[in-house]
């Protein structure tokens, strides 16, 4: 199942327009906050598809029947670009466990690269709900590598949701081809192509640099 959220009208369209706008991007704090708000909005949409159980809650005036989230959630993200998006989802799923993966493009030329996983910290994923996010799903290689490292070392989730703000059509196709068929995808915008350096077009540029400043390669 693939959900493309900008096909419907919602406030998420406003956030998307601002993170794309090269003039608004100059305000680094606003860019991070918009990514965070994206995470909150996407987490709310995901919550509609999760399980809840009934509990009795005592109020100052009596008892109320309420629903509480049943799923054991692990929020996973890929450093460094994924941190603001991850934080937004953690604002919603505030009791979730967390998984952090450090991955980068190791270039052999200007256009050719492999994905290197340097570090991973995660609880057990066995029978839990994994929500794995990366703001940009370009080639899909980082997402596939992160998923395989997590599940290879920490167990098999009951279900996995993959979250990206912007995905390329090629990246989504690659990810779906190389990961299990029962994963649910949550994409805000699906862009048509990548350039020669595997950046999404029209995209937004480098999400990590826009959030935290330029880095030395």
DSSP track, 149-190: HHHHHH---SEEEEEEEEEEHHHHHHHHHHS-TT-EEEEEEE
What domain range is 85 assigned to? 2-212
pLDDT tens per residue, range 118-165 = 888 999 999 999 999 999 999 998 899 999 999 989 999 999 999 999
pLDDT band for 111, please (50, 70, 90 cuts): low
Burial environment of residue 115 by CB neighbours within 10 A (0 to 12, 13 to 18, 19 or more)? middle
Number of domain units in the chain: 1
pTM above 0.85, yes or no: yes
Q: What does the pLDDT read at residue 214? A: 85
26: in domain? yes
Alpha-carbon gap, residue 167 to 165, rounded angstroms? 7
Query: Would you call 67 helix, strand, or coil by DSSP?
Result: strand
Q: What does the pLDDT read at residue 58? A: 96
217: in domain? no
196: in domain? yes
Find residue 101's DSSP bridge partners.
78, 120
Reference 203, options 108, 135, 111, 109; nearest CA is: 135
69's tokens:
């989230």
pLDDT of 52 higher than 70: yes
Identify the CATH number of the domain in which residue 12 sits.
Answer: 3.40.50.2020
207: in domain? yes
Residue 78 or 103, more confident = 78
Average per-residue pLDDT for the chain: 92
Reference 70, options 132, 128, 131, 150; nearest CA is: 128
19: in domain? yes
pLDDT tens per residue, range 61-98 = 999 999 999 999 999 999 889 999 999 999 999 999 99
Find residue 116's DSSP bridge partners.
104
Q: What does the pLDDT read at residue 183? A: 96
114: in domain? yes
The number of residues making up the chain comes to 217
Which H or E element spans position 113? strand 113-121
132: in domain? yes
Alpha-carbon gap, residue 41 to 49, rounded angstroms? 14
132's tokens:
């794995």
194 phi/psi in degrees, rounded to 5:
-125, 155
185: in domain? yes
Q: What is the DSSP letter of 205?
A: S
pLDDT of 107 higher than 80: no
């Amino acid at each position: 199942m693939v959900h493309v959220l900008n096909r419907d009208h919602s406030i998420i369209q406003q956030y998307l327009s601002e993170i794309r706008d090269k003039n608004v991007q100059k305000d680094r704090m606003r860019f991070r906050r918009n990514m965070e708000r994206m995470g909150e909005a996407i987490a709310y949409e995901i919550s509609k598809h999760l399980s809840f159980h009934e509990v009795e809650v005592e109020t100052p005036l009596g008892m109320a029947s309420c629903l509480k989230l049943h799923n054991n959630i692990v929020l996973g993200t890929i450093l460094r670009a994924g941190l603001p998006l991850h934080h937004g989802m953690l604002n919603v799923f505030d009791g979730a466990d967390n998984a952090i993966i450090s991955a980068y493009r190791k270039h052999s030329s200007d256009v050719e690269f492999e994905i290197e996983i340097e570090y991973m910290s995660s609880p057990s994923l066995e029978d839990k709900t994994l929500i794995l996010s990366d703001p940009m799903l370009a080639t899909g290689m980082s997402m596939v590598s992160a998923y395989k490292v997590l599940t290879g070392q920490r167990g098999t989730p009951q279900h996995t949701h993959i979250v990206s703000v912007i995905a390329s059509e090629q990246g989504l196709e690659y990810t779906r081809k190389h990961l299990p068929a029962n994963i649910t995808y949550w994409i805000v915008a699906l862009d048509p192509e990548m350039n020669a350096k595997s950046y999404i077009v029209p995209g937004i540029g480098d999400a990590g640099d826009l959030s935290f400043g330029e880095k030395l390669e």
